[in-house]
Structure formats: C-alpha cells, structure tokens
Structure 1
C-alpha cells in the first residue's frame, strides 16, 4: 500500500520511492533508502487518514440528508 500510494505502482523499486518522496516533500536530494521508507510510510498514513476523515464526513452528511 505504501508504494502504491507514494509511487502509484505497488511493485515500485526503492529508487522510485526515493525519487517520489523527494518530489512530494520538495527535498534538495533523494533521502537514503531507510529514510525514504519511513517518510513514505508517514505520507501514506496522512493520505489514508485524510481519506478516512472525508469518508466519515460524507457518511454523516448523507445520514443527515445532505451530501456535498
């Protein structure tokens, strides 16, 4: 799920993850592999959490009879 979220391909290489982490976070250089993995996990966590909050809000609005 991490590679899919960050790179868009679940079978991405470590170098692709490093490149996308650099791009997403606007870093001056590719982070080391371990650091890129940790940052990719954090990015995925934020993305998944944000989507979960949006879905919960939509369900609440639907239950109240209004959907944005």
Structure 2
C-alpha cells in the first residue's frame, strides 16, 4: 500500500504549497519552479485569473507583503 503522505501533488496543489512557502515571490517564480520540478501543463493550470489572484495573495502573505 502506498503512503498517501508521499504521493505526488497535483500541479495546482504544488503551486499553492510553493506560494505559501515564501520561496516564490510571484506567479512567474512558481511557474519556473514547477517547470524545473517537471510538472506538466504549468501554463494551462496557472492561467486563470482567480488562481493567479490567489497565488499572488499567498506569495505576498508568505513574504510579508514585499
């Protein structure tokens, strides 16, 4: 049986994780990181206005609004 804590996150789940982590300051940073991690269809997954708005807000909160 596979341990669910070690499962591969979806592209969107990983994007939110990166946004909350404080390691990415923008959606472009998140896209670059996801591409480097070999996630597929990054552009398609992160192209919607609402997800971009969410990710920007999370990045700002995680980096102290900088």
TM-score between both structures, scaled by the size of structure 1: 0.35
**Higher relative CO (CA 8 A, sep ≥ 6), structure 1 or 2?**
2
Taking structure 2 as the reference length, the TM-score comes to 0.35
